[in-house]
Amino acid sequence: MQTKINLDQFLVNKEVTLQTEPGLKEIYYKLEEATKKISHVVNHAALVGILGKADKENVQGEEVMKLDELSNDWLIESLKSSKYCAGVASEEMEDFISFDQCQNEEAKYIVLFDPLDGSSNIDTCSAIGTIFSIYKRKSKGELLLSDFLQKGNDILSAGYVIYGSSTILVYSMGHGVNAFTLDHKEGEYILSHEKIQTPTSSTILSISFGYYNFYEKRVLDFCHWCLEEDKATNRPLTQRYIGSMVADIHRNLLKGGIFLYPATTKSPNGKLRLQYECNPLSFIQKQAGGKYTNGISDILEIVPTELHQRVPIALGSSDLVDKYLSFK
Ligand code: AHG
Ligand code: MN
Ligand code: MN
């Protein structure tokens, strides 16, 4: 039988980034701690009375679910207990939080997260997730807003945890993408997918056709191309859209495909958030050999001007992203 390698062992033995950034190990330990708790409660939500709405709206005017709040609290609580973490910013909070230890030199890292992605799927037992990214702070002493407005290419490490039929943590520190499946019995993330490379040719289209009447011509032209019949290019493509970005991206990462959340006439910047969703998932996609775009330029090169910036996005296998970009 093969020896099981857990995430902590893998980080210590295989992750070259830890040689220069040893504090990242503890940040990961804290992310593991919080996401194991979230995974447990997501699996038992109906039994512990945690389904449903929290009866408030977040900074983006979206409905907050009880599990959004709880996940947010647990991530903050865990990260706050690391001397290496200076502060955090979350999709669910208007402002970033500075931890007391931010004054210390060891507190070199900040973490940005979407505590629970796919909120609308929480109550229906569909896959949801946590998305995170870790940056090195630029300031010393007090944290500044500018620490949280770094471009995606400054990410030190990013990843997500998908709470689906399994709980899987996928991460990269800039040297490939690896995934770890939570062994619920042992309470450990065990290496299950090493050096993930996304297929370069693919057959899955992930977009909401609910906004068909609000997309620009270019998006519609691309979708029509995807739906045409052509055996040589495996068309028509298969449509898969869950409505949890993390779940749509995870499936497409493994199977090949393109995910789009474009601009609409009603939301000219799309819906998805640059720092909490698009940057970390583009970073993963890039590390897995895939592509990503806002339709015009490199998402990871955008310098954010605010904490809750939105951006249109298309990402996935290179053949389909290139094809999308060929439509003007
Ligand atoms: P969140 O639950 O963190 O607010 O994110 C939901 C996002 C994303 O996960 C998903 O792809 C998208 O919203 C779905 O939006 P539509 O319902 O507009 O398709
Ligand atoms: Mn989200
Ligand atoms: Mn969310």
| pLDDT digit string, tens, across residues 232-250 | 999 999 999 999 999 999 9
CA 31/CA 36 separation, integer angstroms: 8
With respect to residue 199, please indicate whether it lies within any of the assigned structural domains: no
Of 244, 258, 313, the residue with max ligand 1 atoms within 8 A of its CB, to mutate for a pocket test, comes to: 244
Rounded to an integer, the average pLDDT of 126-147 is 97
Residues 107 and 215 in one domain: no
With respect to residue 53, please indicate whether it lies within any of the assigned structural domains: yes
Domain termination residue (choose one: 173, 193, 213) = 193
Give the closest residue (by CA) to ligand 1 atom 6: 118
Domain CATH code at residue 38? 3.30.540.10
CA 326 to chain CA centroid, nearest Å: 26
Q: Tell me the residues surrounding ligand 3 (ion) with CB < 5 Å.
A: 91, 114, 116-117
Rounded to an integer, the average pLDDT of 1-27 is 94
Residues 149 and 208 in one domain: no
Judge if the upstream peptide bond of residue 262 is cis by omega within 30 degrees of 0.
Answer: no
Pocket of ligand 1 contains residue 26 by CB under 6 Å = no
Residues 58 and 158 in one domain: yes
Domain termination residue (choose one: 135, 162, 193) = 193
Which residues, at least 6 apart from 273, have a Cβ–Cβ distance to it below 8 Å? Answer: 60, 91, 114, 308, 309, 310, 311
Residues 218 and 184 in one domain: no
Q: Has residue 156 got a pLDDT over 70?
A: yes
Q: What is the length of the chain?
A: 328
Q: Has residue 2 got a pLDDT over 80?
A: no
Residues 221 and 315 in one domain: yes
- Give the distance (Å) from ligand 1 centre to CA of residue 230: 31
Residues 69 and 148 in one domain: yes
Is the pTM value of this prediction over 0.85? yes
Pocket of ligand 1 contains residue 273 by CB under 6 Å = no
Domain CATH code at residue 276? 3.40.190.80
Number of domains in the chain: 2
CA 242/CA 169 separation, integer angstroms: 19
Residues 232 and 181 in one domain: no
Which strand (E) or helix (H) includes residue 174? none
Q: What is the pLDDT of residue 61?
A: 80
Pocket of ligand 1 contains residue 112 by CB under 6 Å = no
Q: What is the pLDDT of residue 1?
A: 60
CB 214, CB 223: distance < 8 Å: no
Give the closest residue (by CA) to ligand 1 atom 16: 243
Question: Please, which residues bridge with residue 273 across strands?
Answer: 310
Pocket of ligand 1 contains residue 243 by CB under 6 Å = yes
Q: Has residue 213 got a pLDDT over 80?
A: yes
At 107, list the tokens: 């507190």
b/e 186-225 (16+ beta carbons within 10 angstroms → b): eebbebbeeebebbeebbbbbbeeebeeebeebbeebbeb
Q: Has residue 190 got a pLDDT over 90?
A: yes
Q: Domain range holding 81?
A: 7-193
